[in-house]
Amino acid sequence: MDSIEVHIFSDASIVAYGAVAYFRYVNLRGEVGTSFVMSKCRISPLKKLSLPRRVFLWTDSEICLCWIKGSAREWKQFVSNRVLEIQDCTSPDRWKFCPGLENPADKLTRGENSHTLLNDSVWWQGPVWLRAWVKRFVAKLRKITCESGTLSAAEIKEAEEYWRNLACQRTIGASGIINEKHPAILPKSKFTDLIIMSEHEKSFHSGVVSTLSRVRNNFWLPRGRQVVKKVISECLICKKYALKPTKQLTGQLPRDRVVESPPFAVVGIDFTGAITIKAGDQSCKKVYIALFTCAVTRAVHIEVVSDMSVKSFIFALRRFFIKKRWLQNYLFR
């Protein structure tokens, strides 16, 4: 076989869509042949698929948003290439900012276990405000009069209530109003945690009792105290204020270190390593330094010692005594 190619033909109509594949080969003698490989066809879905005409793109990175909305030439090559590609595929006007906490895609990059995702309303239905948009969109489709422009507080609240009712096992009074008398039961879910955290923040990071009482204005939490306590324990701001600075553990200082005395009355002595110095005749020689440290004031006295012998040390000690004359009375009285 000299060469082999695959050719695929595809088509779609209102009733069905499908594809068929063929091999085209040329053998060593130069003869061309073709062969059917496989085909697949499907009936078109009964429900007509409509492509969304309005696409909105959200990101929680203000820097990226600035890149996309700016001119690609302004940025460095790496960023510029990617921005150009994004601008080719999408219109920069379609890109909008979304806070990181409300960005469902954040869960993909942060890593979330499947159990948490299962009960996560933001994951399944998108951010609350998006649902408010959805409600307005539905109202428009049903030709119900609704507001235009940015979402109003009432619309957001209404959407919140709708989705909350969906998440809660509802126990609502005849009037449909959730209050202390007819609270909604909040199951254990991410939605519940968000409600608790929202009340905790509204009450300026108050404690468990206060947060719980605020939540109980509208909801009933089974094992409320425990749940609220757990959510508050994860609040970063509270954590920051509750922490106490650590103190280093130190042993008791010996008596000589803490009782008042003249400088160098109690000393510690040590030698440094060898230090090379220039002697008078341009040659180099090794010397050492005897370090006298005062145990009470931490003052330091240094003496140069020619070698590590006892004789040299005694000389250094004598020089030290001479320079600190007051010690002689103190030490030898």
- Rounded Cα–Cα distance for residues 112 and 120 (Å): 10
Check binding of 194 to Zn ion (CB under 5 A). Answer: no
Check binding of 41 to Zn ion (CB under 5 A). Answer: no
**DSSP-assigned beta bridge partners for residue 290:** 271, 303
- Rounded Cα–Cα distance for residues 228 and 318 (Å): 73
Q: At closest approach, how far in Å is the CB of 292 from Zn ion? A: 55
From the list 178-186, 214-222, 228-236, 291-299, the region that binds Zn ion by CB under 5 A is 228-236
Q: Is the dihedral of CA 325, 331, 332, 333 positive or negative?
A: positive
- Rounded Cα–Cα distance for residues 138 and 141 (Å): 5
Q: Token pair of 60, please?
A: 């929680």
From the list 93-101, 229-237, 270-278, 283-291, the region that binds Zn ion by CB under 5 A is 229-237
Q: At closest approach, how far in Å is the CB of 117 from Zn ion? A: 25
Among 72, 146, 235, 266, binds Zn ion (CB under 5 A): 235
Among 151, 194, 197, 238, binds Zn ion (CB under 5 A): 238
Count the alpha carbons within 13 Å of 202 in the hemisphere toward its beta carbon: 12
Q: Report the interhelical angle of 325-332 vs 310-323 (nearest 10°).
A: 100
Residue with tokens 């909350």: 164
- Rounded Cα–Cα distance for residues 215 and 200 (Å): 9
Count the alpha carbons within 13 Å of 107 in the hemisphere toward its beta carbon: 18
- Counting residues that bind Zn ion (by CB under 5 A) gives 4
130 neighbors 98 (Cβ within 8 angstroms): no
Q: Which is nearer to Zn ion, 49 or 242 (CB)?
A: 242
Q: Which is nearer to Zn ion, 204 or 332 (CB)?
A: 204
Q: Terminus-to-terminus CA distance in the chain, angstroms?
A: 113
Taking CB positions, which residue lies at the least distance from Zn ion? Answer: 235
Check binding of 205 to Zn ion (CB under 5 A). Answer: yes
Q: At closest approach, how far in Å is the CB of 235 from Zn ion? A: 3
Check binding of 299 to Zn ion (CB under 5 A). Answer: no
Check binding of 319 to Zn ion (CB under 5 A). Answer: no
From the list 134-142, 167-175, 236-244, 271-279, the region that binds Zn ion by CB under 5 A is 236-244
Q: Token pair of 51, please?
A: 């492509």
Q: Which is nearer to Zn ion, 69 or 202 (CB)?
A: 202
Check binding of 151 to Zn ion (CB under 5 A). Answer: no
Q: At closest approach, how far in Å is the CB of 229 from Zn ion? A: 12
Q: Which is nearer to Zn ion, 237 or 300 (CB)?
A: 237
- Contacts with Zn ion, residue ranges (CB under 5 A): 205, 235, 237-238
